[in-house]
Amino acid sequence: MNRDLLKQLDGYGLTTAEIHYYRLDHPTLLQLYVWQDYDLAPRFPVLQDFLDHWRREIEAALHSVQVAHQRLIGPTEWRAVNGVISLH
């Protein structure tokens, strides 16, 4: 079975992070990196691991991180409809 589907079934949702940072050789230039993976809200352990790696291994200072999260598999919305819909 697909690894991403298994993660979603375990409660993971698609997470996107906009990471704004400064490179040490150009400290006045704000740059953007977009990261995306499946993660668990609200603690985001996968993103936290990535940011820890960034702080240890990448020569760039973090400025800010904005996070968006969406669970793609969840309960479906159901509502009763009283009537008939005709399609031509």
Q: How far is CA 25 from the centre of its chain?
A: 29
- Counted residue by residue, the chain has a size of 88
pLDDT tens for the chain, 88 residues long, are: 688 888 888 889 999 999 999 998 999 999 999 999 999 998 999 999 999 999 999 999 999 999 999 876 555 555 666 666 656 5
Q: How far apart are the first and last CA of the chain?
A: 39
Instruction: List the chain domain ranges.
Output: 3-70
Q: Hey, CA dihedral for 20, 22, 27, 30, is it positive or negative?
A: negative
Say if CB 13 and CB 39 are below 8 A apart.
yes
For the question of whether the overall pTM of this predicted structure is more than 0.85, the answer is no
